[in-house]
Homo-oligomer: A and B are copies of this chain.
Amino acid sequence: MNGNNEDRLTGWLRHLAAGAGGEHIGDDAAFLPAGGPWALTTDTQIEGVHFHSGLPPATLARRLLAVNLSDLAAVGANPRYALLALAAPRGFDHRTFFRAFVAGCKTHHLQLVGGDLATGPTWTAALTLAGEPVAKRWVERRGARPGDRLWVGGTLGESALGFNLVLRGARPEGRAIRLPKRVPADPRWQRAARRAVRRHLAPHPQLALGSWLARRSERSAIDLSDGLSQDLHRLCRASQVGAIIDHHALPQAAEFEPLCQRLGLDPVDLMLAGGEDYVLLFTLAPRVRPPKNLFPAARPIGVITSERDLQLVVNGRPEPLEERGWDHLKESS
């Protein structure tokens, strides 16, 4: 459980910056002053790295906002303020981008209070959000206890499937999605493919679920951005526990498996390591469950153990759950 390159670097950095506030480096958000009334989070989106080049400016704006809001959801914070550092190539349509960005801010009662604009060779946006606590305590990664049930807030792998469809030519056209020819004409498949592309382009941060967890002082949560396998390892490391998850319990979108197979993709791989699900992974005491009417997509997927290893049960047979997923620093450090 040493983590990938990014985790190794953040671990080293946490140690280096200890005494200079670095103890929480690597969490979804930083709390300041220590434990205090603000949660701050920064996330970067780079064209060609986090998404395919050539997406419309309004799509970039909504995606950037959603990805960052998901970090606030994970700690139980109400979004309040935004600072945007945007570097874009000459000719970028700033006004269309900002119209969508400010509209998104208003939807989430978020105030855009500042930032920085620059011209650069690659479209790169770093968004900093500040949130206030929904309840008396933040939801943290480190609160999982043996015996807790492990839950996810929605289906897994669908965003990664959408990303693959975009790589194969799927594109937003106004409010519609144009699909590549390889997707069969059957309306159910077409619908599933469009939903996957939308999930990738415009994720829905689970702020209401984060609020519910915070108000109930529930155990722990993490934002699934780098894939279930990677992020579950992070949650377990932070809580000093292990976990057993059931492969058959992992929630899938309708037509997910056949669509993956048609496109030559491994559905299990996408669910475990595809990344960018932007749903919460969280733990609850054994008899607690999120209200079905509010969170219909939430599912229990396993249990927290005191044994500090992670297992995936496939057809009743436990296998070690490898730590793999999106590594932001693969081969680089």
Contacts and interface: CB of A to CB of B under 8 A. Distances in A.
Max count, chain B CB within 10 A of own CB: residue among A12, A115, A331? A115
A317 interface: no
Given A30-B83, A328-B119, A332-B88, A42 B105 contact: no
Given A99-B16, A115-B42, A32 B80 contact: yes
Given A94-B333, A113-B22, A113-B30, A85 B120 contact: no
A40 interface: yes
A183 interface: no
Max count, chain B CB within 10 A of own CB: residue among A24, A95, A113? A113
A114 B25 contact: yes
List the number of copies, as a whole number.
Answer: 2
Given A13-B112, A40-B130, A116-B126, 7 more contacts: A13-B98, A21-B105, A40-B113, A40-B128, A42-B114, A44-B86, A90-B331
Interface of A: 6, 9-10, 12-13, 16-17, 20-22, 24-27, 29-33, 38, 40-44, 46, 48-50, 80-92, 94-95, 98-99, 102, 105-106, 110-122, 124, 126, 128, 130, 328-333
